[in-house]
Amino acid sequence: MSEGRASFGFRDVDAREKAGLVRGVFDRVAGRYDLMNDLMSAGVHRVWKDMTAARLNPQPGEVIVDCAGGTGDIARRLARLARGARARRGGAHARILVVDFNAEMIAAGRARDGGSYSKAAWPEIFWSVGDAQRLPLRDRSADAYVIGFGIRNVTEIPRALAEARRVLKPGGRFLCLEFSRPASGVLRAAYDAYSFKVIPRVGELVLRDRDSYQYLVESIRRFPDQPAFARMLDEAGFGRTGWTNFSGGVVALHHGWAL
């Protein structure tokens, strides 16, 4: 990508335009985002998120960043696990900070389940409108950082990774759940056909918005594959990096440590 340019799906745009374009996509889909995830993945996104939360293994008293946390799907899982650990071992509530630059997504998350994301119901979860590239957190203040299906939307991925590295305490854990490259050619062909033919059509039928879902599938294709993204983590200064494929590599969970 040349200087000053960024990818927006298959298009190259002025880097200064990308955030506004991405924000527009999530403004349009926010109200039905959770439903669309279930429809597009036949509910499997729930399993990927369950596995991510279990891998992060939140503990009482920890500060955890759910970056690009959207409607709080991952944060809610983390809060449940932290609550379970606290019931067994005692200690302070974990603090899970959902940071997302789209206020509509956060509002949809807070309104979910009849608005039960109130402070009383979820004392662990804090919501903040903010950018992955400029996190509203002090240096070395978080025990763990997770970003789920968010990093490919960020204009300057190395900047977001540097921010994650900055806010993590030494020994802090980093997790990134993202669509990736299926390992087998047969699965890749089937997944390509499904993504490009079915997903934009479902977007059109459910939301009357084909373009947003066309962007989502194109952005998945442009995202680096597993080894290339692991190299970006190394370059950002994370240690012991690697990944675990889910569903044959349709999705990968990258991990690393702030050492």
Ligand X SMILES: C[S@@+](CC[C@H](N)C(=O)[O-])C[C@H]1O[C@@H](n2cnc3c(N)ncnc32)[C@H](O)[C@@H]1O
The residues, ordered by sequence, that sit 6+ positions from 72 with a Cβ below 8 Å of its Cβ are 66, 98, 106, 109, 110, 112, 117, 125, 127
Query: Which CB atom, from 79 or from 154, has the smaller least distance to ligand X?
Result: 154
We find the least distance from the C-beta atom of residue 241 to ligand X, in angstroms, to be 20
Residue from 36, 79, 81, 105 binding ligand X (CB under 6 A): 105
Please calculate the CA angle 238-152-45 and round it to the nearest 5 degrees: 95
User: 3-state DSSP call for residue 135?
Assistant: coil
Strands 239-246 and 251-258: what pairing? antiparallel
We find the least distance from the C-beta atom of residue 22 to ligand X, in angstroms, to be 5
Residue from 77, 85, 145, 153 binding ligand X (CB under 6 A): 153
Query: Which CB atom, from 86 or from 135, has the smaller least distance to ligand X?
Result: 135
We find the least distance from the C-beta atom of residue 4 to ligand X, in angstroms, to be 17
We find the least distance from the C-beta atom of residue 76 to ligand X, in angstroms, to be 10
Q: Which residue has the tokens 């880097």?
A: 15
Strands 251-258 and 95-100: what pairing? unpaired
Query: Which CB atom, from 61 or from 245, has the smaller least distance to ligand X?
Result: 245
Cβ of 1: how many Cβ atoms within 10 Å?
A: 9
Residue from 9, 58, 60, 148 binding ligand X (CB under 6 A): 148
Q: Is there a contact between 75 and 47 (Cβ–Cβ < 8 Å)?
A: no
We find the least distance from the C-beta atom of residue 25 to ligand X, in angstroms, to be 8
Residue nearest to ligand X (CB): 70
Residues 108-137 close enough to bind ligand X by CB under 6 A: 131-133
Q: How many residues bind to ligand X according to rule CB under 6 A? A: 19
Residues 30-89 close enough to bind ligand X by CB under 6 A: 68-70, 73-74
Residue from 7, 8, 9, 26 binding ligand X (CB under 6 A): 26
Residue from 149, 174, 179, 229 binding ligand X (CB under 6 A): 149
Q: Is there a contact between 239 and 161 (Cβ–Cβ < 8 Å)?
A: no
- Residue environment code for 111-137, b if the CB has 16+ CB neighbours within 10 A, otherwise e: eeeeeebeeeebebbebeebbbbebeb
Give residues in contact with ligand X (CB under 6 A).
Answer: 22, 26, 68-70, 73-74, 100-102, 105, 131-133, 148-150, 153-154
